[in-house]
Structure formats: structure tokens, C-alpha cells
Amino acid sequence: MQEQSAQNRWELWTQRPLLALAVVFAVAYAVPIVDTSADHTLTTACTAVEWVVWGAFAADYVVRLALTSDRRRFVRTHWLDLCAVLLPLAQQLKLLRLVSTLLLVGRRARMASQIRMTTYVVGAVVGLLMFGSLAVLSVERESPDGNIRTLGDALWWSFTTMTTVGYGDHAPTTGLGRIIAVGLMLSGIALLGVVTANIAAWFIARFDKDDVEERAQTEAILALTQEVRALRAEVAALRDRPEGALPPGAPPRPAPHPSR
Amino acid sequence: MQEQSAQNRWELWTQRPLLALAVVFAVAYAVPIVDTSADHTLTTACTAVEWVVWGAFAADYVVRLALTSDRRRFVRTHWLDLCAVLLPLAQQLKLLRLVSTLLLVGRRARMASQIRMTTYVVGAVVGLLMFGSLAVLSVERESPDGNIRTLGDALWWSFTTMTTVGYGDHAPTTGLGRIIAVGLMLSGIALLGVVTANIAAWFIARFDKDDVEERAQTEAILALTQEVRALRAEVAALRDRPEGALPPGAPPRPAPHPSR
Amino acid sequence: MQEQSAQNRWELWTQRPLLALAVVFAVAYAVPIVDTSADHTLTTACTAVEWVVWGAFAADYVVRLALTSDRRRFVRTHWLDLCAVLLPLAQQLKLLRLVSTLLLVGRRARMASQIRMTTYVVGAVVGLLMFGSLAVLSVERESPDGNIRTLGDALWWSFTTMTTVGYGDHAPTTGLGRIIAVGLMLSGIALLGVVTANIAAWFIARFDKDDVEERAQTEAILALTQEVRALRAEVAALRDRPEGALPPGAPPRPAPHPSR
Amino acid sequence: MQEQSAQNRWELWTQRPLLALAVVFAVAYAVPIVDTSADHTLTTACTAVEWVVWGAFAADYVVRLALTSDRRRFVRTHWLDLCAVLLPLAQQLKLLRLVSTLLLVGRRARMASQIRMTTYVVGAVVGLLMFGSLAVLSVERESPDGNIRTLGDALWWSFTTMTTVGYGDHAPTTGLGRIIAVGLMLSGIALLGVVTANIAAWFIARFDKDDVEERAQTEAILALTQEVRALRAEVAALRDRPEGALPPGAPPRPAPHPSR
């Protein structure tokens, strides 16, 4: 129990710094993509910052693993975190670093119990839109027959994809760009589902307020309770009567209850 | 309590005039966009009408603020209204005036408690379609490589966007046009959610009518009530019996219940 | 009450012939559009058949109006039927005849209580797809820059529109064609809503089956009933006891319940 | 009952081998489409494997028919299986063999009660995506003006279709390709419905947890049970009292119950 609590305290304590680091990562990821005229020094610095943020999340994973009591169970239930930590080591691909950092941030954000469902979904959608745009832009700009060449086009394309509108005036042409697009589409469907479900739940909750059967039950139970209370008063009256006090044929006592 | 009531009376009293002013705004907004051959006098008159309508809504905000008792709380809960009132002052942009007026109309319409949810959604969708078409038309017609040049095209594009069909035969090419498009897409998703939720709530309400468990409960409660009533009759019979009247071994009395 | 019953009997009796006439209308509508080499005689015959079917539905409306007791109320609640009957008279437009016949068939089909919701929706979708394709084909084939020129293209376009996929390889270019398209899009959204709602209702019904709270209630009520039954046995035992028979300090009687 | 059990045992026993055969079919179907340079021997071998897998499913149908007790009912409730078995015999079309095998696999997978709804839907979607891509690729590659010519394009097109995004950068141009596309679109709508319904059911279940009315009922029933228990104690006390032990006018006994 002590270890569990230490883990919890660590997670609570590192939550805000890690989310701040995620913002730093976002800036370091965006700068070399948006500012194409950036010189080598800036690009190298940004890559270094990305690795530092990834390192912080990796260290967070190791510390949490050290603080937990049942380490085997922790690895089993957090296998996605482990993959996200190990993935960028396997290949020096920029995109993998992005995906794994997004995954780690998402896992930590979901852990924060004070963040409510709707906030989490909205945050995830905004994050996916932003990083999807940047990733597609960096991938498609290299392609000779690509048609997503400015940040504006990339953002516009992300919106038309996520809302499943899909005009087709801009569309990824490379394999990597299309894989990112599939991720955005699936997120869009999930977003649509969450919006619809939210509205539906609200509608149904309002419908249920007027539910007739439920009210009938509550009223039936209340009536029944009334009945039992009256019965108990009757028994109590019966018990307090001094036995043999009234001769046979004595006049009836005054009714202690209206509906005897 | 007196102030609250004064505010309510004001809101009820100004509701219809403000909605009428919204229609006037719509006409004044549409005329210079649809009638491209309109001379300078007409355009100026229309802009003046737009400012007058905006002024009426701004005055409405000020009056409501004056009539409320807790002004700090009013500003906090109506910050969107305040933004909508101040926005067109910051910049003389036609589009900002449109957005802020739409916002103000929407806030007042939502306040009108006699307008039901479905009416509100349908009204919002029709309004967004109409103003979205006009706004995109006025923005895209200026663009050299725009492809939305007539009111028909703009309306058609709005419909394909809001239903998330997105053929791509017409699509905005300017930044402003795309921002309007994103607004239409998000409204379209919300519309889809409301339609689905409405149908789902209706379906589920019908499903629930046949709910077996609920009925079983009500029947169980009724049977229990019957049982308690019989018990009470029993106790009452017991109490009314003159004690010592019957010798041991006397023949059993006829059962007094169920209908004593 | 007699009139109401006469109206009901008429509606039940004419239901099948009217649905059969709707199929005849479908064939008469489709033939001149699909078979472009049809000579004048065939086209005229088909137009005549269309008018006859429309006339049958108009006669049905008149008979129902005659059979009803409260005619003013009938006209008020069936204003859409009246519009559909009068619409084709105002203008000799082929499309209006189609829309009004579809409307009349839909109103009569909805009236048939033995047709279930799902069947009605599926039927409406198939009908709208078929007639939407034919109508768009007949409108767009005339347009010089139209791109829907064969029945295959028209059907394909209808599907991509109704499912809101909207590739944009085919899209209507004329005003009439686009109005038909908007109808198909809205139907598609409604269809999506019905499908989702159906699945959601089924899911929720299954969820509710496992509802813990509900079961806890039923169990609580059953336990309570057991309790009351035991109590009643107790009271009955108390009542049947010959008073004064047992001296104070007598050994306790064997418990008479539960199975006296 | 014996036969029913034999059929059940057969279905349980053949389930895994049949699903393994489905994977073999997938490979045999994919190889000649993906590897266009495959020589005649390989293609013939793959076609043979396809027929063998189809034969295994046909044999499975025959064995299940033989093992069932009420054969007429089996044929009636499994008419889709019969069609799927007979379809490829009627025409030597590769596509029909694919559709019928997919149908048979789907029917057997649905039968496996240990496979849960979500797994089934995800499996069906992945399978439809994969086979839809392969089928469209094999059909469209032959077409002179087709634009789906590589496996990557086909997979990308399948994703944009199933999520109803529909960019239109790739779209089938042949009749067969479009029929496959319609299948994918309808599956996509169903998938969207399942995702939304899943989220909605989860939301509503959470909403219901907080349902006030339900809790009020349970509390009311518990309070009532308390009341009845107290009543029973009262009656028991009344019964165990030695009658005549206390003279009239004796001081009241100590209260046996707190709230008499």
C-alpha cells in the first residue's frame, strides 16, 4: 500500500511538468517544419529538445516502474507506454518520435482523474489536428507530386479529413502521409461518436426525467410505507392495552386511527 | 428579486423586436453580396443598417446589465455576449460584424424558453447555411483562383459541406473562406449528432416501454401491498376480539378477512 | 364513430392497390428516362400512366376526406397530402409529379400500421435512391457541362451522396439537380441517424439487462415480501392462541411457523 | 436433443480449423492480385486452394445439415449459407467465390459465442477493408481509365470510402468496382453506427449510475424493510408476553424498541 501511494504521489507531482514538457515538444516539433528557412543550428537544437522531452517521459516510466509494488503487472498493463518509450530508439525517424510522445502524453493525461472526459476528447482532437497537420506537411512537402505545401493547406486538409467532409482539393500522395491521414479519419469518426453520444445521453436523460413507470414505482413504495406505518401503530396500540381491563361487551374504544 | 424580475420582463418584451431586427440584418447583409451591381448609396445604407442592428443588440446588453442585481456575475456568465458586442469595434471587418450579430441573436434565441430544442437547432442550421453561403461568396468572389462565384454555387457548397458529403467541385481557397468552412463543418457534425440523438432517444423511449424488469418490480410492489393490507386486517381482527371471551377449545371463528 | 371506422376500412382496403399503383408509376417514370430511343407514343403513354396514378391518389384523398367526420381537422392534419395532390396541377413539371406521388405513397405507407419502422425506412431509402437517380439523370443529361449521363453513373452518384462519401467524380451542375441532391443528402443523414439509433437502442437494451441497480431493487422487494409473509404468520399464530390457556411461566410453545 | 448436441459439438470442433482455412483463402486470394508477375502455375495453385477452402465450407454445411434434427427448419434459417455454397457453382467468377467465402466465414464467426460483438465488428471491418481493396484492385487494374492501380492506392481508397471521407482522388470507374464500393460504404455507415452506439451506451450507463430516481427507490425500499422488521419485533414481543401476568394498572413495561 505504501508503494502504491508513492507511485500515486509521483504521478500527481509530475503531471503538470510533463504536460508543460509536451507543449515544449510541440513547439520544438513545429518550428523546423513551419520555418523552412531555419538554419542547421536551430534544427539541431529542436531535435535535441525533442529527445530531451522523450527522455523525461522515459524517465517517468522508469520511476513509476521502480515505485510500483507489482512490477510484472505494471509492465503488462502499461505495455503501450513501454512500446512508446522504446520505439524511437529502434529507428531515428522523426515521425516515430512524434507518435510515441503523443502516446505517452495521452496516457498521462488520461491518468489525471481531474481532467473530465469532454476536456480529454477536445484536447486529443485539437492535438491530433495540430500534429497531424505538421506531420503531413513535413512528409508531403518532400513529395514531387504532393499538393500540401503550406501550413494553411495542411490545417485545412486536416479539418476536411477529421470531419469526414473530404473535398479532395488536397490529399496526401505518399505512403506515410496516408497513414497519418488514416489516423486522423479514425479520430474523426471517434470524435463524431463522442459528440453524438454526448447529445444523445443528454437527450435521453431529459426523456427519462419524465419516465412514468419509475414515478409510479416510487409512489407505490411510498403508499406501501404509509400502510406499514399505520399497521405498526395498530400493533403498538394493541400491545399497550392492559389485558383483561375491558370486560366482554364493553363499549368499543375510540378509534385510534381513521381507517380501521 | 425585483431587479431579476425587471430583467426578465425586459428580455421577454424585447425578444420579438430583436428577432425582427435579426431578419433586417440578414437582408442588409445579403443585398450588397447578391446584387453586385448595387451602387455606392445602397451599399452604404446597408452597412448603416447593419451597424444599427448591432447597436440595438449592444444597447440590449447594456440595459440587461443595468437591470441585473449582481452585475459582476452577469458579466462573468455573459462574457460571450460582451465579446460579441465589443468585437466589431476593434476592427471594421464586415465578417466580424456578421459573426458577432449571429452570436448575439443565438444567445437571445436560446434565452427564449418557449422556443424548443428542435426549433432552435433547425433555426440555427438554416441561419448558418444562409450566412455561411453569403460570407463565403463575398470572400471567395474576390480571390483570383476561387471557384465559388454565384449565390447558387455558394448555397450548393454550404449544403455539401454541412452534410459532410464534400464533393470538392467547389471549395474555398482563401484563408477566411476556409475558416467559415470549418464553422460550417463543425455545425454539420453537431446537426448530425442532434438528428441521431433525437431518433435514438425516440427509439430507446419505445424500447423502454416494453421493459420487463420495470414491470416485474411494479407487480412485486403491488403484490406486497396486498399482503400488507391482509396483514393489517388480521391485526385489526385480533385487536377487536374481546379477550377471555372465548374459552379454550372453542370452535374457531369464521375468518373475518378479506372484506371485513 | 361510424365514419371513423368507414375511413379506416377504406384505408385498409385501398392500401395494397395503392402500393401496386406506386410500382406502376415507378415503371412509367423510369421507362422514358432509361430508354432514350423511346418513340413519342411510348413517352405519351407513360405520361398518361403517371397522371392516372396521381389521379388515383387524389381520388383516395377525396374519398378519405368524404368519409371522415371532422373534415376541417382532416384538412389541417393532412395539409401535406393536399399540397401533394394540388402541386402537379399548378405546373406541368414532371419532377413535381414525381415528388408529389412519392409524398402521397410515403404518407399512405406510414399509415399502414403493420409496416414496421425499419421496413419503412429501408423502403424509403431504396425508393429515394431509385427515384433520385432517375430524376438527376433526366435533369443532368440535358445540361451541356453535366457529368451524369448514364443510369449507372446516376445510381453510383446517388450512393456516394446518400452515404455522404461524396467523391466528386460525378456531381450535379444544374439547379434542379442540386435540389434533388440536397434531398438525397438529408435522407442520407436521417438514414445514418436511424441506423445508429437502432444499433444504440439494441446496445443499451443489452446493457440495461445487466443493470445492477434494477436487480438489487427486485431482490430487495422479494426479501421484503418474505419478511411480511413471516410477520403475517406470526400474527396469525398470536391470534389463534387460546388466551389464558397457558399459565405464566409455562414452557414455550413449539414455533407454529413457518409451515403451519 | 442428441442430434442438437452432435451439431453443437461439430460446430465447436470445426470452428478453429475453418477460421484457419479462411486465412489460407485470404492468402490464396491475395497472392495473384498483388504479385502481377506470378506465372501460370502459381495462379492455378491459388485458384485450386480457393476451391478447396470453399469445398471445406460446403462440406461443413452438409455435415451440419445431416446432424440437425429438423432439416427443413435448418435450410429455412440458413438460406444465406445455402446461397453462399451454391453461388460459385453457378458462375466461375472469382468475385462470387470471394463474396460467398466471406459470407460463410462471417456466419460461422457469428456462431462462435465466445467472440464478442466488438471483436466481431472489428474483425469484419478489417476483413472487408482487406478484401475490398484486393477485389477493387483486381477489377480496376483491367479498366483502361481506372485510377486504382497499386495495392497502396486500393487500401488508401478503401479507407477513404469506409470512413465516408471520400476525397475522390481515387474512385472506381467500372460497374463491378462500384458495387464493391457500395458494399464498403454501407459497412462504413454500420461501423460508424456501432462506434457511436458503443460510446453512447457507455455514456448513458455512466449517466444512469447517477440516476437519482433509481437510488431514491432503493432507499425507500430499504427504509420500508427496516420498518417491517421493527414491526415484526413488536409482534414477537407481544406474543411472548405471558398473558394475565401483569395486573391492570401495572406500570408500563420498559420499551422494547427505541421508536415506539
Confidence at residue C1, expressed as pLDDT on a 0 to 100 scale: 46
Confidence at residue D1, expressed as pLDDT on a 0 to 100 scale: 46
Residue A257 has pLDDT above 70, yes or no: no
Domain ranges of chain D: 1-114
Residue contacts between A and C (CB atoms, under 8 Å): 10
Q: Nearest-CA residue of chain D relative to C252?
A: D240
- Backbone dihedral angles phi then psi of residue C116, each to the nearest 5 degrees: -85, 160
pLDDT digits (tens, 9 = 90+) for B33-74: 888 887 889 989 998 998 899 899 889 989 988 888 888 988
Chain C residues with CB-CB distance to B192 below 8 A: 189, 192-193
Query: B244: distance to nearest CA of chain C, Å?
Result: 6
The grid coordinates listed for D117 are 460483438
CB atoms within 10 A of CB D238: 19
Q: Does B167 touch chain A (CB under 8 A)?
A: yes
Exposure b/e, B137-161, CB count within 10 A at least 16 = b: bbbbbebeebebeeeebbbbbbbbb
Residue A252 has pLDDT above 60, yes or no: no
Chain A residues with CB-CB distance to C167 below 8 A: 168
Residue A251 has pLDDT above 50, yes or no: no
Where does chain D show beta strands of DSSP type E?
A: none
Query: D249: distance to nearest CA of chain A, Å?
Result: 7
Listed range (A238-247, B12-21, B191-200, D60-69) with the worst mean pLDDT: A238-247
Counting as contact any 3 or more CB pairs under 8 A, the partners of A are: B, C, D
Q: Does C192 touch chain B (CB under 8 A)?
A: yes
CB atoms within 10 A of CB D97: 21
> pLDDT tens digits, chain D, 260 residues: what are they?
445 578 888 888 888 888 889 889 989 989 888 888 878 899 899 989 988 998 998 899 899 888 888 889 888 888 888 888 888 887 767 778 888 888 888 877 766 655 666 777 778 888 889 999 999 999 998 888 889 999 999 999 999 999 989 998 999 999 989 999 998 998 888 877 787 777 777 776 665 554 555 666 666 777 777 777 777 777 777 766 655 444 444 444 444 444 43
d(CA A88, CA B69): 59
d(CA D186, CA D200): 21
> DSSP labels for C57-120?
HHHHHHHHHHH-S-HHHHHHHTHHHHHHHHHHHH---HHHHHHHHHHHHHHHHHH-TTS-HHHH
The answer to whether the beta carbons of residues C66 and C80 sit under 8 Å apart is no
Percent of chain C at pLDDT exceeding 90 = 17
Residue contacts between B and D (CB atoms, under 8 Å): 10
Chain C residues with CB-CB distance to D222 below 8 A: 220
Chain B residues with CB-CB distance to A159 below 8 A: 178, 181-182, 185
Chain A residues with CB-CB distance to C220 below 8 A: none
Query: C72: distance to nearest CA of chain B, Å?
Result: 26
The answer to whether the beta carbons of residues D193 and C196 sit under 8 Å apart is yes
The answer to whether the beta carbons of residues C217 and C172 sit under 8 Å apart is no
Nearest to B200 among D165, D167, D200 (CB): D200
Helix, strand, coil percent content, chain A, rounded in steps of 5 = 75, 0, 25
Confidence at residue D85, expressed as pLDDT on a 0 to 100 scale: 86
Is the pTM value of this prediction over 0.90? no
Mutate one of B241, B243, B246, B257 to test the A interface: name it (highest A CB count within 10 A). B243
Q: Which residues, 6+ apart, have CB-to-CB distance to A124 below 8 Å?
A: A106, A109, A187
d(CA A153, CA B171): 12
Q: Do B168 and D168 touch (CB under 8 A)?
A: yes
| Side chain identity at residue C128, one-letter code | L
Listed range (A96-105, A138-147, C116-125) with the worst mean pLDDT: C116-125
Counting as contact any 3 or more CB pairs under 8 A, the partners of B are: A, C, D
Confidence of residue C200 (pLDDT cuts 50, 70, 90): confident
Q: Which residues, 6+ apart, have CB-to-CB distance to B56 below 8 Å?
A: B18, B21
Q: Nearest-CA residue of chain D relative to C169?
A: D168
Please give the biggest Cα pair distance in chain C: 116
Residue B257 has pLDDT above 70, yes or no: no
Q: Does B211 touch chain C (CB under 8 A)?
A: yes
Residue of D228 and A63 predicted with greater confidence: A63
Confidence at residue B252, expressed as pLDDT on a 0 to 100 scale: 46
The answer to whether the beta carbons of residues D227 and A232 sit under 8 Å apart is yes
Chain B residues with CB-CB distance to D196 below 8 A: 196
Nearest to B196 among D166, D167, D196 (CB): D196
Exposure b/e, C219-241, CB count within 10 A at least 16 = b: ebbeebbebbeebbbbbbbbbee
Residue with cell 418513340: C39
Q: Which residues, 6+ apart, have CB-to-CB distance to A48 below 8 Å?
A: none
Q: Which residues, 6+ apart, have CB-to-CB distance to C68 below 8 Å?
A: C3, C4, C7, C74
Which one-letter DSSP state was computed for residue D167? -
ipTM of the complex in this document? 0.71
CA-to-CA dists, residue B236 to A232, B253, C229, angstroms: 11, 15, 17
Which one-letter DSSP state was computed for residue B147? -
Mutate one of C161, C195, C196, C198 to test the A interface: name it (highest A CB count within 10 A). C196
Q: Does C178 touch chain B (CB under 8 A)?
A: yes
Q: Residue A241 — left, alpha, or beta (φ > 0 → left; ψ -120 to 50 → alpha)?
A: beta
Q: Nearest-CA residue of chain D relative to B217?
A: D217
d(CA B70, CA A91): 61
Please give the biggest Cα pair distance in chain B: 116
Nearest to B165 among C161, C193, C215 (CB): C161
Q: Do A199 and B204 touch (CB under 8 A)?
A: no
Residue of D32 and B231 predicted with greater confidence: D32
Nearest to A192 among D196, D227, D237 (CB): D196
H or E segment at D95? helix D94-111
Chain D residues with CB-CB distance to B192 below 8 A: none
Query: D228: distance to nearest CA of chain B, Å?
Result: 10
Q: Which residues, 6+ apart, have CB-to-CB distance to B114 below 8 Å?
A: none
Residue with cell 447529445: A199
Residue with cell 430583436: B18
Q: Do C243 and D243 touch (CB under 8 A)?
A: yes
Q: Nearest-CA residue of chain B relative to C178?
A: B156
d(CA A103, CA D130): 26
CB atoms within 10 A of CB C130: 16
Percent of chain B at pLDDT exceeding 70 = 79
Counting as contact any 3 or more CB pairs under 8 A, the partners of C are: A, B, D
Chain B residues with CB-CB distance to A234 below 8 A: 232, 235-236, 239
Q: Do C168 and A168 touch (CB under 8 A)?
A: yes
Nearest to C200 among D201, D215, D218 (CB): D201
Pick the most confident of A87-91, C180-184, C234-238.
C180-184
pLDDT digits (tens, 9 = 90+) for A193-241: 787 777 777 776 665 554 555 666 666 777 777 777 777 777 777 766 6
Q: Which residues, 6+ apart, have CB-to-CB distance to C14 below 8 Å?
A: C60
Q: Do D244 and C244 touch (CB under 8 A)?
A: yes
A contact residues 223-252, partner C, Cβ 8 Å cutoff: 243
Nearest to D238 among A171, A221, A235 (CB): A235
D27-30 contact pairs (CB < 8 A, 24+): D28/D53, D29/D98, D29/D131, D29/D134, D30/D130, D30/D134
d(CA D198, CA D259): 50
Please give the biggest Cα pair distance in chain D: 116
Give the distance from CA A181 to its chain's centroid: 22
C86-89 contact pairs (CB < 8 A, 24+): C88/C54
Task: Work out the average pLDDT over B194-220.
Answer: 66
The radius of gyration computed from the CA coordinates of chain D, to the nearest angstrom, equals 33
Chain C residues with CB-CB distance to A196 below 8 A: 196
Q: Do B166 and A166 touch (CB under 8 A)?
A: yes
Q: Does C166 touch chain A (CB under 8 A)?
A: yes
Identify which of D165, D186, D98, D101 has the alpha carbon closest to the alpha carbon of residue D138. D98
CA-to-CA dists, residue C24 to C130, D52, D202, angstroms: 14, 46, 47
Q: Which residues, 6+ apart, have CB-to-CB distance to D242 below 8 Å?
A: C246, C247, C248, C249, C250
Pick the most confident of A233-247, C7-21, C206-220.
C7-21
d(CA D202, CA A201): 9
| Side chain identity at residue D252, one-letter code | P
Q: Do A197 and D202 touch (CB under 8 A)?
A: yes
Identify which of C31, C25, C32 has the alpha carbon closest to the alpha carbon of residue C104. C25
pLDDT digits (tens, 9 = 90+) for A36-50: 887 889 989 998 998
CB atoms within 10 A of CB A124: 19
Counting as contact any 3 or more CB pairs under 8 A, the partners of D are: A, B, C
Chain B residues with CB-CB distance to C188 below 8 A: 163, 165
Q: Do D201 and C204 touch (CB under 8 A)?
A: yes
Listed range (B89-98, B160-169, C40-49) with the worst mean pLDDT: B89-98
Residue with cell 438528428: B195
H or E segment at A159? helix A151-162
d(CA A149, CA A170): 10
CA-to-CA dists, residue B132 to A248, B46, B154, B172, angstroms: 93, 18, 8, 12
Q: Nearest-CA residue of chain B relative to C170?
A: B167
Q: Nearest-CA residue of chain B relative to C165?
A: B165
d(CA C105, CA C26): 11
Give the distance from CA B59 to its chain's centroid: 24
Q: Do D200 and A200 touch (CB under 8 A)?
A: yes
